[in-house]
Structure 1
Amino acid sequence: MQAAAKRSAAPKGVRSAAQNDETGIRASADEQALLAALPIAAAVVGRDAEGVIRLLDCNSRFHDALANSSNPEIAAGDLTALRDGALGAMVETYLDDPTMPGELDFRDGEGVGARYFRTTLAPLPQADGIGLRCLVSVVDRTVEVQAERALRAEMLRDSLTGLPNRLSFTETIESRGGTSARDLDHAVLVVDMLRFSRINESMGSLAGDELLITFARRLISALRGGDVLARTGGNEFGILVGLKRGVADALAAAERIQQVMATPFKLSELEIRVECAIGVALMQTGQDAEELFRNAQFAVKQAKAAGKPQVYEPREASAARRRFSIETELRRALDKDQLRLFYQPLINLKSGEVAGFEALARWTHEDRGEISPTEFIPVAEESGLILQLGRWAMDRAAQTVAEWDRQAGEPLPVYVGVNLSAIQVARDNIAEVVESALRSTGLAGNRLTLELTESSIVQDPGRAMRVFEALKALDATVAMDDFGTGYSSLAYLQRLPIDVLKIDKSFVTGMMRDPDAVAIVRAVLSLADALGMSTTAEGVETVELATTLATLGCASGQGYYFARPLEADAALEYWKGRRKKSAPIGPAMS
């Protein structure tokens, strides 16, 4: 424990109580009575006219408190010897200026036998021939300090495995950090035991605890001397490793861990293979310990997706922070109705007229400008905001079509397609959303086309069937979007009430240079014709593509050759212009 006062040599001329007998100077009767009455160790100290600091008197508790000191002078009651003279220096300073702090912690002895004291100074009235004086009280804090240390040790230890816990681990990281290259030769590995919750639920918490203890022991066997292992979470462990060859050493440590975990664990007559995800973060100059640990945790998430240990990359973390920021801003934008729907025409390749439009969400951020749907749609799906976004898009699209009818004075022969994500199909009541949009606008069901991706079908075919049937009951059209990019079974196409197959643009754009792409498109068109489905080609960007698709029998196409996504009013004008021209595969309107 560090002394509160500045350490210095014992002041010259400081005398003990025994030396005071020679001069006949003692504490007053009142002071002696005060010392006797105090329940703690205490002494009276003063400075005489010559400037000599004297120990005037002390009670028996003062001697008892210091009697077992390892320093003979302290045991004899020589106040000046305490803490190598630090207390004497403190007394001298205090008598010069009683407004100075008058408290000092000091240690007597070393190791487990050390004793800890707290000394407090308080001013006393002046007396003839003595001048300023003070009361020195001493409290033995040894038991308290030992209890604090034991409590802290308990706070820094994981009770199940006996390993350091996260608090202890981050403190260890902090102690290893520095500014020199040598100080930075460390990395943090975070090891996450996969499928632990399933094991815990199926076999019970006792088996789970046994697995954690065995897992920790195996981790210890994979470490080198000087490496530090800690349990930092329920099924998460942190390792601080020293590096000589940079990241290669960290990856070698990860490889050793995976090797020792390859052998199955035996629990209650069962052999269980336990896999783990490992994230690595290298220590950087001036880096906070918690930040370093979080970086390794971020790498663990990437390791789970990649299936192998991953090293933290700042660029990936920056992208993750941007996604989180976009999630916050997107939630605010939805609440404030700051998104817009644009409409991309779908052209009948035989007549050249507009058959319908696909509604596409667009977001112009007040500070960031245009944010691409390829960026905010995945964020919406990951965060669950896709449900709110999907309902908004359905209502807005239906309202737009109803407004077009109102302006024309009659129902227009066009429909609008609205995309549905797999998350919406899995979590929302799609039929209820569509029915509400139709009811509020008075539209017939065939004015809406619901576009679903193959993934929404493959994830839960049973639910997809129920959703499709409910949509067909509303007379809505169902289209499979991006067909050919997923894993659709022909059995799904045969069983599900799908009306339209939309051929993914990756096949369409390659048709003019890749014979295989032409063959795939031809096969899809033949399949759709055999199943009684219509077809729409995405990504039509040239007249050659439009002509080829029309020749092959594709019903409709959409792409930049015809028009980019348009705002609602512009889309209506585009429909009017296309109808007047009434030319097959006509060019885009200006």
Structure 2
Amino acid sequence: MQLARPISNVPAREAKIPETRDDGLLLHALPLAAAIVGLREGNLWVHDINEHFRKTLMEMNSEESELQIFKRHAAGPLGDFLHAYLQDPMNAQDESQATDGEGLNQRFFTFKLAPLDPAADGSPRCLVSLVDRTMEKRAERHLRAERLRDSLTGLPNRLSFAESIADLAEGEKTDYAVMVVDILRFSRINESIGSLAGDELLITFARRLMSTLRSGDLLARTGGNEFGLLIKARQGASDALRAAERIQAQLADPFKLSELEIRVDCGIGIALVDADSHAEELFRNAQFAVKQAKQQGRPNIYEPREASAARRRFSLETELRRALDRDELELAFQPLVDLRSGEVTGFEALSRWHHEDRGPINPCEFIPVAEESGLIIELGRWALCKAAETLSRWDKQAGQKLPLQVGVNMSAIQMARDNIAHTVQEALSCSGLGGDRMILELTESAIVQDPGRATRVFEALKGLEATVAMDDFGTGYSSLAYLQRLPIDVLKIDQSFVRAMHQDADSIAIVRAILSLADALGMKTTAEGIESLELATTLAALGCSTGQGFHFARALSPDDALAYWDNRRGKGLAG
């Protein structure tokens, strides 16, 4: 006979219920905490417990008696769980999690149930095993805390930051802003002063940022030299911008590292939280705003239109790569006209892209995408080969070597990364043309970025007998020493000066100066953007060699360009 005890809300009472000796022996032989619990007249009864169970139970709360602990849990979710199982073990859950205590003293348990034969009076019974998972849970909490913490600064990391943003979005709190602060030129600082000093700078930077926080704000380290802030912005953009100004002011003073004083600039991007916000999207928006902030030199608030344009550029990059692979681009040719005789001396080859779905895509849109993505190298090679191939085909159609050159633009990025002379040599070899038929047009920026490389490239091109032209002259920052030192054949006067000649005295003075400079250096000149006979006549009178522009013709297809050359022969400047 065993002593059974009720653990319901009714006063405790004792009743002798026959039990089998085997159940008791088995219970006390088990190496885990276990008890036999039954259901009698709607009340939960503890028929027996082993020593492991009693020890674990009393460790829950040493200030309560065993019976008090039983009754407290019987009145809660655990009691409901036991009731349900004892009433219908086939359809009820047989495992449940429970906690006891709070804070650092909180403990975690798993209760598992297994059916037993009914008691002597026919009331249902079950075996309850108790697994203390407190150490496991504490270890999980510790690992999670470590997973959500930046080891260098001790701040929350990006994962933790994203979870905090998500919590805001779920709570539909819209009076916050996500801010990303990026340390500019950090890689150069790190390389100059060493990684240990770089780490010290990051820690000090984080402390400065921490000092700008207000109640309810959150700071996290979200990348190598990137920090995320979740700030209150009850008045929207104005509040967020004031916070950004406060941060910039706090970071304005130099950082002292050992014997060094380092002034640090940062880019600040802001995304305002709204009702439809998603954590990752908000963070990406703030990162996008940082890129804009770096370009503009001031804190930037995310604008969907700018992001839409960026997504379009990214989409264009993918489609441009595909178009180059499929040879879907074309070249159009704008005539270069001798301003004295009116004869066509050559054509400038211009890339054109007619997208099958989007229609014509402006070169002003896809050329920057090509430069940003590095596709400009492939595009430049394609343009060279295509232009040389077209000029060679014109020769064959005319049955003679035509008195024409073709000009191809070379990007500064292509000059920096590609072997241009080798690419030109390949295009000439494939087409059978001589180098004297090609004009390579490079901008001033290509020279300024790396004068030494520019000199080697220009000399290699001259070795191929190609004509070298400096495009958009007057809009860059080239030194006059470059003009004297580099083997440049043609200066192309930018259309912004040419179009304004008859309305702006300064523009005509600039054009005169460029023409005089070119004449003194033995260079020819080409005026871009000629849109009237009056401009063409004036430039011819001033001594400009050739011109191009809508007055003569827009960019033409290869067949139309050849026909245009043939039709203009002998017709003069006005023809």
Count of residue pairs brought into register by the alignment: 569
1:131-167 deviation per Cα after TM superposition (whole angstroms, max 9, x unaligned): 5432211111111112211222222222221212112
In structure 1, the residue matched to 2:131 is 139
In structure 1, the residue matched to 2:54 is 63
Mapped to 2, the partners of 1:302 and 1:295 lie a distance apart of: 11
| CA drift at 1:248 | 2.1
Mapped to 1, the partners of 2:69 and 2:293 lie a distance apart of: 65
1:482-536 deviation per Cα after TM superposition (whole angstroms, max 9, x unaligned): 1111112221111111111111111111122222222222222222122111111
**Normalization by structure 2: what TM-score?**
0.94
Q: How does 1:396-411 map to 2 (within 5 A)?
A: 396-411=386-401
In structure 1, the residue matched to 2:265 is 275
Check whether the contact 1:193–1:277 (CA below 8 A) recurs between aligned residues.
Answer: yes
Mapped to 2, the partners of 1:488 and 1:380 lie a distance apart of: 24
Equivalent residue in structure 1 for 2:515, among 499, 507, 525: 525
Check whether the contact 2:18–2:119 (CA below 8 A) recurs between aligned residues.
Answer: no
Whether 1:350 aligns to 2:340 is yes
In structure 1, the residue matched to 2:571 is 583
| CA drift at 1:127 | 5.9
Q: What SS class does the counterpart of residue 230 from structure 1 fall into?
A: strand
Q: What SS class does the counterpart of residue 290 from structure 1 fall into?
A: helix
Q: CA RMSD in A?
A: 2.2
Measured at CA, do residues 46 and 458 of structure 1 come closer, stay the same or move farther in structure 2, by a change above 3 Å?
Answer: same
Mapped to 2, the partners of 1:517 and 1:563 lie a distance apart of: 23
Equivalent residue in structure 1 for 2:90, among 95, 98, 103: 98
Structure 1 runs (4+) greater than 4 angstroms displaced = 13-16, 18-23, 50-53, 71-74, 77-80, 125-128
Residue type of the alignment partner of 1:42 = A
1:96-145 deviation per Cα after TM superposition (whole angstroms, max 9, x unaligned): 25233222111112222222111112233456642543221111111111
Mapped to 1, the partners of 2:186 and 2:69 lie a distance apart of: 63
| CA drift at 1:586 | 3.5
Mapped to 1, the partners of 2:242 and 2:66 lie a distance apart of: 57
Check whether the contact 2:148–2:156 (CA below 8 A) recurs between aligned residues.
Answer: yes
Q: How does 1:131-280 map to 2 (within 5 A)?
A: 132-178=124-170, 183-280=173-270
Where do 5+ consecutive residues of structure 1 fail to align?
1-12
Q: What SS class does the counterpart of residue 554 from structure 2 fall into?
A: coil
Measured at CA, do residues 34 and 570 of structure 1 come closer, stay the same or move farther in structure 2, by a change above 3 Å?
Answer: farther
In structure 2, the residue matched to 1:3 is none
Check whether the contact 1:67–1:76 (CA below 8 A) recurs between aligned residues.
Answer: no
Whether 1:110 aligns to 2:81 is no
Check whether the contact 2:515–2:525 (CA below 8 A) recurs between aligned residues.
Answer: yes
Q: How does 1:29-68 map to 2 (within 5 A)?
A: 29-48=21-40, 50=41, 52-68=43-59
In structure 1, the residue matched to 2:489 is 499
Whether 1:418 aligns to 2:408 is yes
| CA drift at 1:19 | 10
Check whether the contact 1:63–1:76 (CA below 8 A) recurs between aligned residues.
Answer: no
Check whether the contact 1:46–1:130 (CA below 8 A) recurs between aligned residues.
Answer: no
Measured at CA, do residues 379 and 222 of structure 1 come closer, stay the same or move farther in structure 2, by a change above 3 Å?
Answer: same
Check whether the contact 2:19–2:120 (CA below 8 A) recurs between aligned residues.
Answer: no
Measured at CA, do residues 244 and 436 of structure 1 come closer, stay the same or move farther in structure 2, by a change above 3 Å?
Answer: same
1:70-102 deviation per Cα after TM superposition (whole angstroms, max 9, x unaligned): 397772286453174212211222232523322
Where do 5+ consecutive residues of structure 2 fail to align?
none
Question: Which deviates further from its counterpart, 515-524 or 80-89?
Answer: 80-89
Residue type of the alignment partner of 2:83 = E
Residue type of the alignment partner of 2:97 = D
Q: How does 1:298-317 map to 2 (within 5 A)?
A: 298-317=288-307
Mapped to 1, the partners of 2:125 and 2:245 lie a distance apart of: 70
Q: What SS class does the counterpart of residue 76 from structure 2 fall into?
A: helix
| CA drift at 1:400 | 0.7
Whether 1:359 aligns to 2:349 is yes
Q: What SS class does the counterpart of residue 220 from structure 2 fall into?
A: strand
Question: Which deviates further from its counterpart, 477-486 or 513-522?
Answer: 513-522
Measured at CA, do residues 413 and 168 of structure 1 come closer, stay the same or move farther in structure 2, by a change above 3 Å?
Answer: same
In structure 2, the residue matched to 1:380 is 370
| CA drift at 1:546 | 1.8
Mapped to 2, the partners of 1:510 and 1:238 lie a distance apart of: 48
Mapped to 2, the partners of 1:420 and 1:164 lie a distance apart of: 48
Check whether the contact 1:186–1:240 (CA below 8 A) recurs between aligned residues.
Answer: yes
Q: Percentage identity across aligned positions?
A: 63
| CA drift at 1:378 | 0.5
Check whether the contact 2:7–2:67 (CA below 8 A) recurs between aligned residues.
Answer: no
Equivalent residue in structure 1 for 2:478, among 471, 488, 513: 488
In structure 1, the residue matched to 2:432 is 442
Equivalent residue in structure 2 for 1:541, among 522, 531, 537: 531
Mapped to 2, the partners of 1:179 and 1:23 lie a distance apart of: 53
| CA drift at 1:219 | 1.4
Residue type of the alignment partner of 2:566 = K
Check whether the contact 1:230–1:239 (CA below 8 A) recurs between aligned residues.
Answer: yes
Mapped to 2, the partners of 1:15 and 1:442 lie a distance apart of: 102
Residue type of the alignment partner of 1:58 = I
Mapped to 2, the partners of 1:429 and 1:377 lie a distance apart of: 20
Check whether the contact 1:20–1:54 (CA below 8 A) recurs between aligned residues.
Answer: no
| CA drift at 1:576 | 1.5
Residue type of the alignment partner of 1:59 = N
Mapped to 2, the partners of 1:488 and 1:501 lie a distance apart of: 12
Q: What SS class does the counterpart of residue 517 from structure 1 fall into?
A: helix
In structure 1, the residue matched to 2:420 is 430
1:292-311 deviation per Cα after TM superposition (whole angstroms, max 9, x unaligned): 12211111111212222211
Mapped to 2, the partners of 1:159 and 1:22 lie a distance apart of: 58
| CA drift at 1:423 | 0.3
Check whether the contact 1:189–1:279 (CA below 8 A) recurs between aligned residues.
Answer: yes
Mapped to 2, the partners of 1:122 and 1:477 lie a distance apart of: 92
Mapped to 1, the partners of 2:171 and 2:263 lie a distance apart of: 42
Question: Which deviates further from its counterpart, 444-453 or 30-39?
Answer: 30-39
Question: Which deviates further from its counterpart, 37-46 or 413-422?
Answer: 37-46
**Normalization by structure 1: what TM-score?**
0.92
Mapped to 1, the partners of 2:501 and 2:515 lie a distance apart of: 14
Question: Which deviates further from its counterpart, 326-335 or 126-135?
Answer: 126-135
Residue type of the alignment partner of 2:72 = A
Question: Which deviates further from its counterpart, 390-399 or 201-210?
Answer: 201-210
Residue type of the alignment partner of 1:289 = A
Mapped to 2, the partners of 1:207 and 1:508 lie a distance apart of: 54
Q: What SS class does the counterpart of residue 305 from structure 1 fall into?
A: helix
Q: What SS class does the counterpart of residue 391 from structure 2 fall into?
A: helix
Check whether the contact 1:44–1:134 (CA below 8 A) recurs between aligned residues.
Answer: yes
Measured at CA, do residues 417 and 45 of structure 1 come closer, stay the same or move farther in structure 2, by a change above 3 Å?
Answer: same
Residue type of the alignment partner of 1:583 = K
Whether 1:292 aligns to 2:282 is yes
In structure 2, the residue matched to 1:76 is 67
Q: What SS class does the counterpart of residue 359 from structure 1 fall into?
A: strand
Check whether the contact 1:83–1:106 (CA below 8 A) recurs between aligned residues.
Answer: no
